[in-house]
Each structure stands twice: as structure tokens, then as C-alpha cells.
Structure 1
Amino acid sequence: MEYRLITRLAEQPQPAHLISWPGSPLLAEVDCPALAAMVDRAAAGDIADTQFACAPFARITLIPVAAWQDALTDTLLGHLRPLFAAPASPQVLLDCTRLENASVLAKTLRFLFNLDHQLSDLGLKSQTAPTTRVTQLTGYCQPRALAELTETFRLQHAIAHGMLAARRLADIPSEQCTPQFVVEEAQRLCASWPQLRCEVLDERAIGEQGLGLLHAVGKGASRPPRLLAIHYDGRQDGPVRSYVGKGITFDTGGLWLKEGAGMYTMKYDMCGAANVLGLMLSIARLALPVRVMGVLALAENAIGPEAMQPGSVARACNGMTVEINNTDAEGRLVLADAIAWAAKRHPQTRFIIDLATLTGAVVKALGYELSGLMTQNEALRASLTAAGIASGDEVWSLPLDKRLKKQTDSAIADLCNTPGNNAAISASAAWLLHHFCPAEIPWAHLDVSGTALWREHGRSVASGRPIPLLMQHLLDDIVQ
């Protein structure tokens, strides 16, 4: 989707869908017979929308003022979503004169830019009705706000670029989206950016480098595991910032088999990895002067003669052993190996942040709006929390300390992968993970089980979160 900013209505594309608010200075330039009644309706707190007698526009929508300031419950997005279920025009004119809240503005722009991806784009329906697609977003603002808004549009467009790539990949059905397919798609996308290079470990290299946990999860599938590292060199020296993503391309639960309803959306168990790929693409698009590594731990958790068994013990690449007492707690296993590998790959790492659709328990705790944050590094906790508020992609901290030790005790190995008492599931997973990052490297875990998907009308699709959070955090970290 292309975008531009204007300061005079005479520059607006025609016929556009105008989205504004009652009392906007822009409306003084609009000659629409129904406008006065629409202003009164929107001023009274209701959305006012028409596609009739609104020339030179294809559609006019006036949204109450309060919605443009609501950063907490996303009222503005709630009004916008149904409007774009069937767009009236390929061009949208967004009145930015009331978008003073930076978080609301960022989320609004990301929503509009993300209209570029629809499930129909996958081409899996034999027949699809032609629909209007938004191809041009124009922002209207006062001249004094032009410079600031230009930078905001540029940033959010780049973030949305990564979100779109991640969402497209995650939405692909798992019979196609295998570990090797993810590697090849990442290589194809990264080829457009000279600063990005891909390093791939196949099943043989995974064994040779001792990633026994990743091997254990993937060995039951006919489609073998992969470890993909994407390196971004925006400068030649300096610390590396590392991101690790869980990439379970489908999760049956293994021999601890999920019920059918719980398995239905498990093609999305690779959203963490997809979002790490998207993040790397956004970083490259912005040409940030940093060194970054994104690690995708890719495997299919399948059932079969070679599948890992409850009670088996596997050894990670840092030498620690884990008793696998639940084969449906596979995500923390692949993450643990990938975190340890990332720390070895770049011992001078500035920080490691992992992201994963790890536990249903975090959804029970925090719902669908907040990602769970677990870390023992207070500076990292504070900076991620602040970045979440600034970006509108928020996190909420859960405890992580030695009181969780008993949750990962094993009689036969260094650790077990799930607590026997079924308590503190999300925090216990993070407690296991922290053993695989050296103490001198700041580390944080993001459980995005609730936020990595957008749920509407009983359907789930990939959301692209927490790419906005991580981009904001990275930009904040660069200027420190």
C-alpha cells in the first residue's frame, strides 16, 4: 500500500473514503448536503457514515472525538474494522488532525497498512468474488504537523511491512508451511536486502552442534527440523541484539496428543518464528545502524515411531539435560536450544529476547490484549514495558524467581519441561528457559499466545504482534 501526506484538501485523491471527526477543520472545505446531520450524530457519540450524496468523496465516515483518543480499548479500531470489511474505494483519506495520541495513531496506521493481506490472497479458494482493495492511504494534517507525521507514517509503514510478511507466512496451512518451507521463504524474502544473510542448520548440523532438544521435538516428523539464523549487519562492529522465535510449524502435542478442538489452530504455533522474520525485514527496510540476529527454531511436533516419549531425556547444546515429561510442552524445548545456540554464536550479545505462542495459561491470566513478559533483568523489563506503552503493543510482567525452582526439578535430569503440579505454567516455562541464557546476557521471554492471533467472528488469523513492540524497543535502545 502506498501512502502520502497532504495539508490541503485540493491535493486529495478522488474519489476517496474520508475518515474524519466532527469539528474537523477539514469539513469546512466539504460540500455535502448530509454533512450537518452527520456532524450532529457524531458529536452526540455515534458513528456517522454515508456513501450517498457525498461527492467528491466515495464515502464519508465521522467518528466521535473520544474514539480518536482512546489508547486503552482501541475504540477507533473497533469502528474502522467493519468499515473495511467491504471498502468503498481503493483510496482512503485519513484526517489526522485529531490523532494526537501517538499510540492511537500508530495502531491506526498499522491497521490500515495491514489491509494489504487477506486470507483470500493465499489462493486456496477456487472462486473468489472481486473486491475493492485499499491501495493508497493519504493522511491529511496541518502544516505544522507535517514533518512529525511524515516520520510516523514512514516508521509504521516499515513495521507493517514486517507484520505483513509474518502474517502471510503464519496463515499458510501447515502441510505446505514446513520447517524447510519457512527456511526457503525466509531466504527468498531476505534476498531483497543486501544487509540480511541466512545461516541454516539442517537435521545433520543440528545433531553435530548438539541441539538435542530441537532434535527431540522434530525427530517424530517426516519433515525434519531446521534452525535458521538471519543476520543483519547495519554496521560492521558493536554488540549484537538477538531475537529467538518458536517455530513449531504444526503441534499435535506429540504422544501427549491434543484433542481436536485444541489442535485446530496449531498451524499458528510458529508465529514466534514468523514474527522474528518479519522483525528482521522491518529492520532492513529502515536501514537501522545496528547488528541484529534473528533465530528461528523450526520443527513439527508430530506422532510416529520416532516421536519423543514422555520420560525421555534430551541434552541441549549448552550441555544441560531435560526430562521430557510432557511432549506437548515442546515449544520451550526448541526455544531453550535456540537461546543457548544464540548465546554461543554471539557471546557479546547485548540482549536476547525470545517470543513464542508458548502457553494457554498466559491467555487465562492476561487475555488477548497483553503479551506476557518474564525476565530477571529489571532494565530490560522496564524498557520493554515502556516500549509496549509507546507502541500500543503492550506487555504485562509475570514473576520469575527461585520460588519457581521446584516446578522444573527432575529426579533424573537437570530439569523437567513441565511442573508436575500443573501450577504457574507460564512462569515455570520461563524459569526453564532462563537456564539456557548465560547470566551475563540480559534475557527476556515474551509469551504471545494471546496476542499473536487476531480473533473475530469465531476465526483466528495471524496478527503480526509483537513486531511493533520489538521495533519500538529496538529504536529506544539504539538512542540510549
Structure 2
Amino acid sequence: MAALPQIRLHSAYSELTTSSHDALVVVCTALDAPTLQSASAACWAGAIAPYREVDREFGTSVVLVPAASVGGGRLVLSPTGTLDDDTDDVRKISGEHTPAASGAGAFKSGVARAIEAGAQRPAVLLALRLPAAGAVPDADYSRWVEVALLAALDASYVTLVVREHRMATAGAGAVVEKLASIGLVVEGAADAAELSNAAKRAAAIEAGRRLALDMGYGDPERMTPYSCAQTIEAAVAAVPGVSYEEIKDLEVIRKEYPLLYNSARASFSEPTTRPCVVKLEYRSPEPAKVKEHLHLVGKGVTYDTGGISLKTGGSMRGMSRDKLGACGAAGFVLATGLIQEPGLNISCILALERNSIGPNSLLPDEVVLSRAGVRVLISDTDAEGRLVMTDPVSECRERILAARAAGDKTPAVICTVATLTGHVIRAYGPYGATVANGPARGAKYDRRLAASGLAYGDPFENSIMRREDHQFVQAKTDREDVYQSNSLPSTLTDRGHQYPAAFIIKASGLDKHSLSAGAQLAIPFVHVDIAGSAEDAHVPGLGLCAITGSPVATFAGAFWTA
């Protein structure tokens, strides 16, 4: 990965010199009297006066004006607008995960404008009037400094495929990062240590997101299952506390992950497209401080043709992005290792495959035995995501039970992360969803994720699993134990993003670990569907959508204690 821009923190505008930055971005709630009367505005308020006199709309959108008194002579004004209205939230500051129709947030837009003007070392002055905590019921500005930095870092990011192209055409001198540094001015910051900690968290999260984006933007030939594994291995190689393991042996995969094996059968003829399983372990540097153990499973379908249940009508477009669950999971492990989070251990399993078509394709009507010994009736090979994650979930279940039997009382939870269904997009648009079992609902894991997503500008909806979801997949004959799906697209199926969680629970054996199993056997499980949140839903011409890096920041907010 390319190195991040240097982050420079300042508690006063007076700490800046014209040589320390080549653009000043002023992020303000509005260009009004309080903003202009601040001490920092004294040197540039005069530069904007002529524009304000002739344009009554001046200052309501991002604008660049020449100002000799600031570094580089570039002054960018980027207003957020209101922050205390009914539907306002931190995305109006950051621009992170902002639906295209609603406009980008002030921080990302302002920094992007400075970059367009030629700046490489912008300073950003935050002149905001934040609402009091709790003033807006569905907003949380407690992480606003972090999300602002993340927005600037995102504006600076250059994708792996572009970096590689530049290196190939321009050599070692190629520009592989848009910014050299970012200066952040938070006037009146009372706690320098807290500000520094926010910058460290943002840098770690961004490194994790960049791993997710590097993999996610790679096309299906650049990022085959094996290529994804190599990218992850290189990223975590020198990170303290993180270990890496990969499984490529098809016979081992057949025995340990039979649903993944059968889903990937048509890919075996070409070595580069064969499946593999990546295991990442993170262990806290301070074992006595560990408060919980996260078992994380990511869906890594590097290309989803639909298999023998072929996608038609152009629906195969963009299916190189069906690996974003695994990308986000790997990114979160990397970020956790970089921050050296003391309160968390992670065991992560990434199921990587290409859902190919061929003479040996998995077929509807087959009955396949899962790792947990559950007979699965295949109905639609295009519902492969739940198949590839189920056996890893079963392995996590086994490991949790073994740890408890050995006397380990550390609370444990299993989370699956996947771009799983189109239904979640039909239900919630550009937002992700959590679907939790009873133990996870009781421990409020789904609400923790939703609260964190709100604070980091990556909102999640909490969906509730109902009895209908379990009844939908429950076998009605003695020939199988569970139905994988129906034969319709999820978008045409009632509760199309909820019932797959019920399938995973049944096929992995987690149905024996519900609330009624008792405290010793109950295992919290949360399925996280990021099909809506992993991309920004804006298509530039005929190109593919941008990738958001969801849910790396959301998981950081939910599981980090530092």
C-alpha cells in the first residue's frame, strides 16, 4: 500500500505559516458573522468580501478564491450547512458514505477542490458550530475529528490499479498519492492527547480501508482468490500481533469447507481461479485487558457469474465487487493490528472463490452436507455467498465451544460480513443492515454496530430476524435439513435479506446455540449485509461505482476500546 499523507495537528490558526501549506480549506457551518469574526478569519475575510458583494449565493457551496495571505494563495470555502436539522448527521461534515443525490460533505469536497487546484499540502481549518450531544436524535458528532480526517485521506487515495499503471508507465517517480501532508487546525482544542489519539485512530482505520479498496477496485483477473490472499499477506506481514494462514489444498477445503468447495467446483480447471481460505488472527498485546473475542467471517467471491444459475440481463456487471465483505474484514484486522487495540482478540476467516460456470458446476437440486453435518438442498447457485460463509461460521462455533470448555470466559461473538443481497438495497438504499440472533440482540451487538456507524458516517439499519425467516428455510421433507434459498432473486423475495441469516444459523449448527440453549451454550451471531453501503451507488458514466471501505470504521467504533 502507498504511504498515507503526513497528518499535522494544530490547535490554533496562528501555528500555520504560509510555507507549511499550499492551500487553506475552511470548513464552516455557514459563512456568516461568527465565522468571519473569528481570529483566524482576520487574514482572509477581506479576500472574500468582493465575492460576497456581487453573489448572494457565495459561500453556500464549495468555492475557491485567490488569497495572497494564505499558503499557495488558494482559499477554499466549504460550508456544511445546517448540522442540527431532523436528518442531519456527521456526513455533512465528512462526505463519507454520502449518497450522490444528497451532495458530498464539506470536508471531502473542500479537500478535493484543493487537490483539483494543484495543492499537495493543504491545511484545513474547522470553524464549526456543532449541536449539543443528543440535540439531533439520529446524529452523533462525537467522532467528528476522526471522520473529517478520514474524508481528507479518502480524497487523497489513489487506487492500486492506478498506482500500478502509473508505476508501469512512469517508473519509480510516478505520483502514487495525491497529497504529501494534511494540516488540521482545530481551534481551541482542549486536549492535545485526545486530538493526537483521534489522528492515530483515523490513520489506522484509513490503512485498513485502503487494503479493502486496493482489493475491491482490482478487476477479477487482477484480484483472483490467490491474488487477494497475496495482497492480504503482504499488508499484514509486519504488523505486530497479526498472524496469517492460507489454505489452498482442494482436498483440505473439501473436508473442512464442503459448501465452499462445491460452490467453487467449476473454477478448479484453472489454477489461478481456484478457491482458498485465508485465516487472520489478531492477539492483544495486553491479554489481561481483553474484553471480548470477535470471530469474523468475510465473503470473498472475486467474481460472481451466478454459476449455473447464470446472471442475465446485464446483472453480471460489477460482480468483481462481490468480495467486498472479505475486503472489509481483512481491512479491519489490519487496522486493529496497527492501532494495537488492547481490549480485543480477533479470529478472521475469509472464504475466497470465483463462482464460475463449467461442466462441473454446482447444480440446483443437489444436496450437499455442510461442515456441521446439515443436509443443504441447493436451489440457486447464485446464492453462493451464504454457502461460502456457512462452514467458516461453523468452525468459529467449534472454536468458541472449545475455548469455553477449556475455561475461557471471554465473551465471544460471530459476525459475517458480505455484499449478500440486492434485497437490502431495495429495503434500505445505500445503507447496510445487521441481522442478529437472540443472544446477539440481547447483548446489543447489532445496536453497537448501528451506533458506531452513525458516529463514523456509515449508518446501518437494524433488521430483526423473525420466525418466518426460519420457517422459510426449514425443510419440509426427510430428504434434506434446510433449503439454501428459493429460485427467485432476493429483490423479489419477501424478507430477502433477513432469511439468509436464518439459513446460515441452521446450516452451521448455530441453531443449537440460541437463547433457549442457556448461557453456557448460547453464541451471539450478527450477519452484516453491506451490499448497499460498500459502494456509493453513483455510477460515473458507464464506469463502476466508487467503493466506500464500509464497514472498517464502523467495526473500529464498535469493538475498539482505545
Paired AA for residue 142 in structure 1: E
SS of 2:75's equivalent? Answer: strand
Q: Which residue of 2 aligns with 1:7?
A: 11
Q: Which residue of 1 aligns with 2:179?
A: 134
Question: 5+ residue gaps in structure 1?
Answer: none
Q: Which residue of 2 aligns with 1:28?
A: 41
Paired AA for residue 505 in structure 2: H
Q: C-alpha offsets along residues 130-176 of structure 1, whole Å, 9 cap, x if unaligned?
A: 79822211111224434233222221221111001110111111112
Does residue 258 of structure 1 match 2:276? no
CA spacing shift, 1:158–1:359, aligned 2, 3 Å: same
Tell me the number of residue pairs that the alignment of Structure 1 and Structure 2 aligns: 475
Q: Which residue of 2 aligns with 1:418?
A: 485
Asked if structure 2 preserves the Cα contact closer than 8 Å seen for 1:67 and 1:76, the reply is no
Which residue of the other structure, out of 287, 307, 310, is the alignment partner of 2:364? 310
Mapped to 2, the partners of 1:130 and 1:471 lie a distance apart of 30
Deviation at 1:337, TM superposition (A): 1.2
Paired AA for residue 212 in structure 2: A
Q: Which residue of 2 aligns with 1:71?
A: 89
CA spacing shift, 1:7–1:144, aligned 2, 3 Å: closer
Mapped to 1, the partners of 2:360 and 2:225 lie a distance apart of 18
Q: Which residue of 2 aligns with 1:200?
A: 246
CA spacing shift, 1:249–1:48, aligned 2, 3 Å: closer
Which residue of the other structure, out of 150, 162, 172, is the alignment partner of 1:110? 150
Q: Which residue of 2 aligns with 1:384?
A: 449
Q: Which residue of 2 aligns with 1:275?
A: 328
Mapped to 2, the partners of 1:259 and 1:420 lie a distance apart of 14
Deviation at 1:36, TM superposition (A): 2.4
Does residue 177 of structure 1 match 2:223? yes
Paired AA for residue 66 in structure 1: G
Q: Which residue of 2 aligns with 1:473?
A: 558
Q: Which residue of 2 aligns with 1:360?
A: 422
Mapped to 2, the partners of 1:472 and 1:143 lie a distance apart of 25
Deviation at 1:393, TM superposition (A): 1.7
SS of 1:460's equivalent? Answer: coil
Mapped to 2, the partners of 1:407 and 1:273 lie a distance apart of 27
Q: C-alpha offsets along residues 57-112 of structure 1, whole Å, 9 cap, x if unaligned?
A: 33212233535664166366214436267253011211124174335443322121
Mapped to 2, the partners of 1:65 and 1:173 lie a distance apart of 35
SS of 1:352's equivalent? Answer: strand
Paired AA for residue 214 in structure 2: R
Q: Which residue of 2 aligns with 1:60?
A: 75
**Paired-residue identity, %:** 21
Q: More deviation in 183-192 or 268-277?
A: 183-192
Does residue 461 of structure 1 match 2:552? no
Q: C-alpha offsets along residues 308-340 of structure 1, whole Å, 9 cap, x if unaligned?
A: 011111121111121110000000101111111
Mapped to 2, the partners of 1:149 and 1:314 lie a distance apart of 53
Mapped to 1, the partners of 2:176 and 2:235 lie a distance apart of 27
Q: Which residue of 2 aligns with 1:445?
A: 527
The 5 Å alignment of 1:85-124 reads 86-98=116-128, 100=130, 101-119=141-159, 121-124=162-165
The 5 Å alignment of 1:192-231 reads 192-202=238-248, 203-209=250-256, 211-221=257-267, 222=270, 223-231=273-281
CA spacing shift, 1:20–1:194, aligned 2, 3 Å: closer
Q: More deviation in 317-326 or 70-79?
A: 70-79
SS of 1:280's equivalent? Answer: helix
Asked if structure 1 preserves the Cα contact closer than 8 Å seen for 2:429 and 2:532, the reply is yes
Mapped to 1, the partners of 2:117 and 2:64 lie a distance apart of 12
Mapped to 2, the partners of 1:132 and 1:224 lie a distance apart of 33
Asked if structure 2 preserves the Cα contact closer than 8 Å seen for 1:86 and 1:131, the reply is no
Mapped to 1, the partners of 2:370 and 2:56 lie a distance apart of 59
CA spacing shift, 1:292–1:132, aligned 2, 3 Å: closer
Question: 5+ residue gaps in structure 2?
Answer: 96-103, 131-140, 404-410, 515-521
SS of 2:298's equivalent? Answer: strand
Asked if structure 1 preserves the Cα contact closer than 8 Å seen for 2:59 and 2:77, the reply is no
Q: More deviation in 451-460 or 294-303?
A: 451-460
CA spacing shift, 1:121–1:405, aligned 2, 3 Å: same
Which residue of the other structure, out of 500, 504, 507, is the alignment partner of 1:429? 500
Asked if structure 1 preserves the Cα contact closer than 8 Å seen for 2:309 and 2:380, the reply is yes
Deviation at 1:28, TM superposition (A): 3.1
Mapped to 2, the partners of 1:236 and 1:467 lie a distance apart of 23
Q: Which residue of 1 aligns with 2:133?
A: none
After superposition, the CA RMSD in angstroms is 2.7
